[in-house]
Structure 1
Amino acid sequence: MDPSFGGPCQGIRNSTPELELLGCVNEIVCLDAPVAQYLDDEDLTVHALGQARGSWARHPDLIPWLRQNLSRFDVVIIHGLWQYASYAVTKVMRQLRGRSPSAKLPRVYVMPHGMLDPWFQNDPSRRVKAWRNWIYWKLIEHRTISNAESLLFTCQKELELARLPFRPYRPKQEINVGYGVANPPTESLSMKRAFAESCPHFIDQPYLLFLSRLHPKKGVDLLIQAYARWVKQETIGEKIPTLIIAGPTDSDYAHAMQRLAASHELLGEQNSPSREPRIIFSGMLQGDAKWGAFYGCEAFVLPSHQENFGIAIVEALACCKPVLISDQVNICTEIAQDGAGLVCPDTLDGTTALLNQWQAKSPEQRALMGQAAKDCFENHFRIKTAAKSLLDAISRDPKLNPSRA
């Protein structure tokens, strides 16, 4: 449930309260330290068994917990693949069926969250990981898929792409349940203050916002290089907006991106008004600071090489902010059709085109695009709609009335 790990855990936080309102009681078992600070304010029922160990995210207490507790539930949803949790659920279900074939056991569903996207197998920088995944699929993970009652997808494009990279691929059923976020909190002065405190080097002026993990698939390098090109085109009287890059900065990749920005002389110099930063790495923003960043930006930008859904994209739409995204974002079709943003290829030229096209928009066109962004959110990505769709999907068996998941 560590928020720095990205979308799936935030999706659980978004959907669970809505499922509860529909009468579906939820419990979450996760491999986090029970004393983790990010669990302190959780309103959800969370069983944190201890910090996961190693790249497989293993913990010795998970299988015993599952053996003791699985029979309490009507439905189990595995969020994500390739780690110990999916293996553990599949193993325990097989053991419980073997011991008592007539025992009441939950129906198991899998929500891949984009982890079956072919990009992960095709990207040249991931050749070793691609071979590892292929072997793991053949030995273990295909059983997770074939034994599940259904795979649950966040959008139609994710469902279709999941069919491409692996064989055998034999899910019993595939369901596009959709995905969404809650309505954002109302904009307030406290949000603006929180953002300013989290980003002390920022002077109040127009800015574009990148808010996501700093990871190679997010296209951060393309964005920095395209922005450097954009700044060189700056003319007197038409200042280029600042670029805020919001995400954890403690990884090797994040450090490399900071060096890349510095190599283009975009980080500025402290105590030098003439060399103010054009790019600011704010670190991870949460709570009021995050919403302050969304509400204050001109537009949200994310030139991903692969994006399953993009919770931050939808949060920006909900705040009436146009989104500048690549055509590798799985919900780009809905956004383009609704006029809620701009879409270009996930290349340096494509990302440069995104920025240039935004600059060419008049204030009136930008305002209309902002309203279209809000309409796009309301039409496609409301969490109430997605939660109802999810509950309908896991309730399709007339013998089942899931009250605990």
Structure 2
Amino acid sequence: MRILQIVPSISLVYGGPSQMVRSLSKALADRGVDLTVVTTDSNGDSGQPPLDVPLDRPVPQDGYQVRYFRCSPFRRYKFSPKLLGWLWQNAGEFDLAHIHALFSPLSTATATVARTRQLPYILRPLGTLDPADLRKKKRLKQVYVKLLEGANIAGAAALHFTSEREAEISERFGAETRDLVIPLGVESPEPVADVGDYLNQLQVKGDETEPLILFLSRVEPKKGLELLIPALEKIWDGGGRFRFVLAGANPQDPDYDRQIRERIARSPLAGQTTLTGFVTGKAKTALLQVADLFVLPSYYENFGIAVAEAMVAGTAVAISNGVHIWPQVEQAGGGWVSNCEIDEIATMIQTALGDRDELRRRGALARDYALEHYSWGAIAEQMIGAYEDILRYRQRQ
């Protein structure tokens, strides 16, 4: 089985979607799938240089191959005419394409090429069919669907959703679709022995005896920081004491990133808040390991990979019901869930911080659930089964 994964970029500056394609591809390759990732060399949308990678040739990585193409002419939209030309010539060499993203010029064009060349394809929307997301640039998206994306959705072999809630609320624009609900996976990190060294490097502020609240995600409007910061201020003004680490950045929207930093600088939380920027590797593991509570009050998340990463690290989570794995968090007993309201978020966090033993208990339950349900091995097996079902169905047509 020869599988093609198509994604606008796998640079880690783009966060979870890029990391997901890398991890899924490795897990599939480990199970014998002949897999190629095609993507661009895009590495950020605000003047960053492109990825320093060979172009238009196979690059071995973790048991699979990556083929990068120059991102041009508009780097912000991660488009590549050469990638499209390569796909047109080579579509017949693959059994199935798995395309990650909608309403992106590259994913739209590659789906159109795949359909024209009769290469079956799966579309993963990444939350773009959520009504909350569709309200952004609503009129433009309506035209885009009518002219381009509607036919791609209708022609897909399946839509890949990562939670039952995402599948339930997503718009199909009148198309009858086959839906796959397969979650994302996470790796269980190796414990970091010298946690204190990493906290010192990150210059984490505050009294070490106080609980540490961690926000570790992209800094963008949908993440609910304008709810979280006032909620934390409310707790602080009421006498609650804690440390707060905001670990994240947004190279695609540096203005918003700067607004959040300025907002915190003016806040009574400033002396207890550490802004680390984007963190990876052992520094990220150390933060998850030492955190007492992970918070993510997003307005909408089709899955919430950062929540699953916190859970597998054994950290209790406090999230909004806009994060679509909130039913699984409740089922696991791995944290707390609230509506997207400042007062409710404040009450949720204050309740969580009020009992350190309960925090540890829920963190352990979160880890047990994540290890069972979000391992990449189990998810790769589900994905292989889905690929095989699609191909068998097409053979009967």
TM-score by length of 1: 0.85
CA distance in 2, matches of 1:59, 1:397: 28
CA distance in 2, matches of 1:49, 1:342: 43
Q: Which amino acid aligns with 2:38?
A: V
CA distance in 1, matches of 2:143, 2:81: 23
Among 6, 13, 30, the alignment partner of 1:4 is: 13
- Identical aligned residues as a percent: 27
- Residue 4 of structure 1, CA deviation: 2.1
Q: Provide closer, same or farther for how the CA distance between residues 16 and 90 of structure 1 changes in structure 2, counting only shifts above 3 A.
A: closer
Q: Name structure 1 gaps, 5 residues minimum.
A: 97-104, 268-276
CA distance in 1, matches of 2:88, 2:243: 53
Q: Provide closer, same or farther for how the CA distance between residues 254 and 368 of structure 1 changes in structure 2, counting only shifts above 3 A.
A: same
Partner of 2:169: 161
Q: Which amino acid aligns with 2:51?
A: A
CA distance in 2, matches of 1:349, 1:398: 50
CA distance in 2, matches of 1:27, 1:310: 26
Alignment of 1:50-61 (within 5 A): 50-51=70-71, 53-61=74-82
Partner of 1:106: 119
- Residue 242 of structure 1, CA deviation: 1.0
CA distance in 2, matches of 1:149, 1:302: 33
- Residue 328 of structure 1, CA deviation: 0.8
2:133 is aligned with 1:120: yes
What are the superposed Cα offsets for residues 225-277 of structure 1, whole Å, 9 maximum, x if unpaired?
Answer: 1111111112xxxx62211011115511111111211222322xxxxxxxxx2
CA distance in 1, matches of 2:32, 2:367: 29
- Residue 400 of structure 1, CA deviation: 8.0
Aligned partners of 1:336 and 1:342 also within 8 Å: yes
Among 339, 345, 348, the alignment partner of 2:342 is: 348
Partner of 1:242: 243
Among 125, 128, 132, the alignment partner of 2:140 is: 132
Aligned partners of 1:177 and 1:393 also within 8 Å: no
2:191 is aligned with 1:181: no
What are the superposed Cα offsets for residues 329-376 of structure 1, whole Å, 9 maximum, x if unpaired?
Answer: 10000101221000000121122122111122x222122111111122
- Residue 130 of structure 1, CA deviation: 1.7
Q: Provide closer, same or farther for how the CA distance between residues 264 and 309 of structure 1 changes in structure 2, counting only shifts above 3 A.
A: same
Q: What RMSD, in angstroms, separates the aligned Cα atoms of the two structures?
A: 2.4
Q: Provide closer, same or farther for how the CA distance between residues 398 and 13 of structure 1 changes in structure 2, counting only shifts above 3 A.
A: closer
Aligned partners of 1:339 and 1:373 also within 8 Å: yes
Q: Figure out how many residues of one structure are paired with residues of the other and give that number.
A: 370
2:329 is aligned with 1:335: yes
Q: Name structure 2 gaps, 5 residues minimum.
A: 1-9, 44-49
CA distance in 1, matches of 2:356, 2:339: 25
Q: Alignment partner of 1:45: what SS? A: strand
CA distance in 2, matches of 1:16, 1:107: 18
Give the number of the structure whose residues are more often strand, by fraction: 2
Alignment of 1:6-405 (within 5 A): 6-33=15-42, 36=51, 43=62, 44-51=64-71, 53-96=74-117, 105-122=118-135, 126=136, 129-163=137-171, 167-171=173-177, 173-184=178-189, 186-190=190-194, 192-197=196-201, 199-202=202-205, 205=208, 206-234=211-239, 240-248=241-249, 251-267=254-270, 277-360=271-354, 362-397=355-390, 399=392
Q: Alignment partner of 2:294: what SS? A: strand
Q: Provide closer, same or farther for how the CA distance between residues 79 and 94 of structure 1 changes in structure 2, counting only shifts above 3 A.
A: closer
Aligned partners of 2:99 and 2:111 also within 8 Å: no
Q: Which amino acid aligns with 2:288?
A: F
- Residue 167 of structure 1, CA deviation: 2.4
Q: Provide closer, same or farther for how the CA distance between residues 203 and 265 of structure 1 changes in structure 2, counting only shifts above 3 A.
A: closer
Q: Which amino acid aligns with 1:134?
A: Q
- Residue 86 of structure 1, CA deviation: 2.1
Q: Provide closer, same or farther for how the CA distance between residues 38 and 258 of structure 1 changes in structure 2, counting only shifts above 3 A.
A: farther
Aligned partners of 2:101 and 2:123 also within 8 Å: yes
